[in-house]
Each structure stands twice: as C-alpha cells, then as structure tokens.
C-alpha cells in the first residue's frame, strides 16, 4: 500500500508571535517552528497502517526551504521518503493554493491512501485536505478517529458533535483528515535520525499559474483583560445572580 501524509510546518506554540509592520502575518525571522500537531497524528496512523499491511509512507509538504526540518523529523520517525514543493510564497498560503501546489506531484504518484491532519495550528481552516481530495478526484472523509482496512476498502470512525460517532465504509483510493489523539505518537530514535539522512527528499517544482484565492487583510494579537464585578445582596440573591450571569453572559453553563 502506498500512503501519502501531508505535513505542515507551523510556528511553535511556545513562541509569542510578533506581527509584521503591515499586520498581515507573523515575523518569520523571529519565529521558531515545529510540525503541525494534527499532521503528526496523521503520520503516526500511516506508520501503523504500513506495519499492518506493508507498503511505503511518503511525506508530502509545500513551503519554504525551512520545511525540510519537519520533513527530516518525519523521515526519522519512520517515513520512507518525501516530496517537497519548495517556494517562499507557500509559507502563508491558503488551503486552495497549498492543495494546488501538492496535487500534480501527488497525482503522478497514484497513492492508495492520503492522510492529512484535521487542521493546521496556524490558520486552522480545516480545508486543505478536503480541497486536495477534490483536486485528486478521490473520495474523502473528515475528523477520523479510527482507520481499518479490510478487503482493500476502508472502514472508518468519524467524530461527530455531542459525543456521537459515525462508522463509514469507503473504497480506495481515498483521503482522510485525522483528528488529534487518534493514537500515541512515537518519537524519533537515534537510529531513525541517522537513517533519515540517507532517505530521499524529492524537490518538486511549483506548478505554473499557482496563485492564492484569498488574502489576509489583518491580524491582531488577542488582548488580555480582567474585570472584577461585585454582586451585592443576600447569599440566596447572590447565588441566583451568579448563576444567571454564568448562563447568560459568560455562557459557561
């Protein structure tokens, strides 16, 4: 089985973002980067499927040269090889642009299964996987919590709202967007890190006519405010008013 895993490099969660002068993106020169967490779970699921059914796991990523760092990490964890569509313009690209960049190279590979994280930690649109499936012309399903392959077809478990789950049968090839927490992540071993240096990272040219379908108008850092309100009255009145405010104003109940 030939499995593709799309991974993205995102600013580290521990890093305090600083905005550019025009406030349309973060100052990349001040940033530290890491693998998008949902994509790490997608990679782990691909590695487990390979252990059960055999085949290859190919990491696919679109972005600047710095993306090689997270590609190497994925190879160290066990992926077999990688495709890298390299372009500085893809560092802050929208879902459509990234999907259009990845689709031609992935179509040539003819993958049996494509896994992506549910969404990215930086933009969080949860659209790239769905758009990529449409570009590849294969069925897709989202928010996946369990993947089973039986008789050359998929039986998958989706997470719904309110604690509900849904089981779906799908043919292959297909694309799945993986929910964080589906499995326990493995770490790269020293042996894996050394082996990753010899694994292939194929540089793929950016497709002609690639352009963004949206533009970021502005970003703002969340403001932290704290306000104390005193509620007067008897204990019964205070309790009733507190419950009302928690339910109607804070929406905590």
Mean of pLDDT values over 173-180 = 95
pLDDT of residue 144: 94
Q: Residue 248: pLDDT band by 50, 70, 90 thresholds? A: confident
Q: What is the distance in angstroms between the CA of the first residue and the CA of the last residue of the chain?
A: 48
DSSP structure class, residue 137: T
For residue range 28-65, list pLDDT tens digits in order: 777 788 999 999 999 999 999 999 999 999 999 999 99
pLDDT of residue 189: 92
Sign for the CA dihedral angle at 216, 60, 1, 78 comes to: negative
Domain boundaries, the chain: 2-204
**Residues contacting 223, CB < 8 A, separation 6+:** none
Q: Which two tokens stand for residue 181?
A: 């927490």
For residue range 227-247, list pLDDT tens digits in order: 788 899 999 999 999 999 888
- The domain defined by 2-204 folds into Rossmann fold (3.40.50)
Q: Is the pLDDT of residue 187 over 80?
A: yes
pLDDT of residue 252: 79
b/e burial code for range 58-89 (CB count within 10 A of at least 16 → b) = bbbbbbbeebbebbbbbbbbbbbebbbbbbee
CB neighbours (10 Å) of residue 38? 25
What pTM was estimated for this model as a whole?
0.82
Greater confidence, 215 or 145? 145
Mean of pLDDT values over 167-174 = 95
pLDDT of residue 141: 95
b/e burial code for range 141-180 (CB count within 10 A of at least 16 → b) = bbbbeebebeeeebebbbbeeeeeeeeeebeebbbbbbbb
């Amino acid at each position: 089985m030939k499995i593709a895993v799309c991974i993205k490099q995102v600013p580290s969660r521990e890093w305090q973002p600083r905005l550019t002068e025009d406030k349309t993106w973060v100052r990349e020169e001040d940033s530290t980067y890491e693998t998008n967490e949902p994509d790490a779970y997608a990679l782990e699921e691909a590695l487990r499927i390979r252990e059960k059914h055999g085949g290859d796991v190919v990491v696919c990523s679109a972005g600047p040269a710095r993306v090689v760092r997270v590609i190497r990490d994925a190879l160290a964890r066990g992926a077999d090889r990688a495709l890298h569509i390299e372009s500085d313009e893809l560092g802050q690209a929208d879902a459509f642009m990234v999907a259009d960049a990845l689709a031609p190279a992935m179509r040539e590979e003819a993958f049996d299964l494509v896994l992506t994280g549910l969404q990215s930690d930086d933009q969080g649109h949860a659209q790239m996987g769905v758009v990529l499936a449409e570009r590849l012309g294969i069925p897709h399903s989202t928010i996946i919590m369990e993947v089973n392959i039986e008789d050359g077809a998929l039986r998958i478990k989706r997470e719904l709202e309110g604690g509900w789950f849904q089981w779906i049968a799908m043919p292959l090839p297909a694309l799945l967007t993986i929910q964080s927490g589906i499995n326990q992540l493995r770490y790269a071993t020293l042996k894996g890190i050394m082996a990753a240096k010899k694994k292939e990272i194929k540089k793929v040219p950016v497709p002609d006519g690639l352009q963004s379908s949206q533009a970021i108008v502005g970003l703002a850092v969340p403001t932290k405010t704290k306000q104390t309100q005193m509620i007067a009255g008897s204990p019964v009145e205070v309790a009733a008013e507190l419950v009302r405010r928690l339910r109607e104003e804070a929406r905590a109940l």
